[in-house]
Amino acid sequence: MAEGSKDQGCAGATDPEEDSPNVIVYRKIEDIVMRIQDEKAGGVAIRTVKSFLSKIPSVVSGADIVQWLMKNLTIEDAAEAIHLGSLVAAQGYLFPISDHVLTLKDDGTLYRFQSPYFWPSNCWEPENTDYAIYLCKRTMQNKARLELADYEAENLARLQRAFARKWEFIFMQAEAQVKIDRKKDKAERKILDSQERAFWDVHRPVPGCVNTTEMDIRKCRRERNPHRVKKSVYGVPDDSQSQPSPAHIPSQPTKKPTKEDVQKEITFLNVQLDRHCMKVSKVADSLMGYTEQFMEYDPFVSVTEPSNPWISDDTSFWDLEASRDPSQQRVKKWGFSLEEALKDPVGRDQFLKFLESEFSSENLRFWLAVQELKRRPLQEVASRAQEIWQEFLAEGAPSSINLDSHSYERTSQNLKDPGRYSFEDAQEHIFKLMKSDSYARFLRSNIYQDLLLARKKGKSLTGKRLTGLMQSS
């Protein structure tokens, strides 16, 4: 491990920020980690492992760590020791050398301990600019050993767009760090690269993994200085980070607030007043209403006719659901929402028939064309996107649709590089138009009401017919 890292680690460990709500937990974990690394006091032996073509320095196996935890912490169950070790790994104190997922396995998987400089007790809050420098630096180093994972490549592209104006500065920072790293010993550089990668696996975890650096509101309220200056890993400030709101900045007793300060506070409070809030009781009522509405359509809660295909060999229920002659339940479901009506092929056809009677079928035909575009093979997407534009959006289009200027401009920009989701804004606008206007009239129309009444009257007759068919078969 580098002497510089050791010095930094000591400096960070001797002067911690004691206002962190997790500081007690960190101290206990660090005590365990230091005992594991202390070979003279019975810790785990840190060794260099020979692989096929190279050597892997400063590693231990997962099985050795589990055995040490069971022996020294009086843990009888191996599963409990693995769970404790995984919690320590999730905080970034130890990490697998060949995996981004920070868990402990009771096998020969090789692990390495994190440098004290990167311990979470140092209250790191790395900026997005730090992460951009790290990812940019990875692209300049050994491709085979430090190649970006898919999610990291996506993050790099996103950050490059966000920091387009200062990307040259970020690139220069990464380039300078790469030059310094190349002067170090190969084994030392390999250790430092893995430790830096593990640090970012904690603060920018793999999608699907828990971010252990996030704190709930109760822990945040226990911080002594919640608006302290964030610590940057590479010393680069991030201008994009949001500043604390004027209403929550503690006022200085010796400084009188200026007119600009008051205006900022008023603006912030007005934004807070305009925020859409909903009571928990209303959310619960909405959830209960949704559950009660769809309860009769759940075959595991309600009785299905003629039989439940999930617990029997009779598939008549599925045949009825796929038939062009919808049951009363299916017709009734179209009235729940426009989404439900469009999910059912028969409901979609009936809604299209109604729109044709009102000479506004182009809206639904456009929406269906965009849905079909999303399922097209990639090589056909560009040509089909141009066809949709010419049919519905181009000047003098045969089936012109009514779009607002914002959606039209966004769509025309997207078609310069057409893709499956180029019409997303236009499709959303048209869907809202149909939902607020045409769909409500469809539910009141004779087409829907007659079909609903006919299904209701024919329900008992259909049930008898099904019973007769089953008996004859």
Output the DSSP codes for 74-116: T---HHHHHHHHHHHHHTTSEEETT-SS----SSS-EEEEPPG
pLDDT digits (tens, 9 = 90+) for 90-140: 999 999 998 888 999 999 999 999 999 999 888 778 888 999 999 998 888
pLDDT digits (tens, 9 = 90+) for 268-296: 888 877 777 777 888 888 889 888 888 88
Sign of CA dihedral 433, 434, 438, 439: negative
- pLDDT in the model for residue 247: 34
- pLDDT in the model for residue 322: 82
Classify burial at 339, counting beta carbons within 10 Å of its beta carbon; exposed 0-12, middle 13-18, buried 19 or more.
exposed
pTM, rounded to two decimals: 0.47
- pLDDT in the model for residue 223: 54
- pLDDT in the model for residue 211: 80
Lowest mean pLDDT among 20-24, 238-242, 445-449: 238-242
pLDDT digits (tens, 9 = 90+) for 10-21: 444 444 445 566
Give the whole-angstrom CA distance, residue 265 versus residue 246: 5
- pLDDT in the model for residue 13: 42
Of 49-58, 231-240, 302-311, 390-399, the range with the highest mean pLDDT is 390-399
Question: Mean pLDDT in the chain?
Answer: 81
Average pLDDT over residues 151-178: 89
DSSP of 289-308, one letter per residue? HHHHHHGGG-TTTS--SS--
Strand ranges of the sheet holding 94-96, from the earlier edge strand across to the other edge: 47-50, 55-61, 110-113, 94-96
Percent of the chain clearing pLDDT 70 (strictly above): 82
Lowest mean pLDDT among 7-16, 164-173, 409-418: 7-16
Sign of CA dihedral 182, 186, 190, 195: negative
Percent of the chain clearing pLDDT 90 (strictly above): 31
- The answer to whether residues 96 and 203 touch, using CB atoms and an 8 Å cutoff, is no
pLDDT at residue 170 tops 50: yes
- pLDDT in the model for residue 301: 84
Give the whole-angstrom CA distance, residue 184 versus residue 5: 12
pLDDT digits (tens, 9 = 90+) for 322-354: 888 888 888 888 889 999 999 989 989 999 999
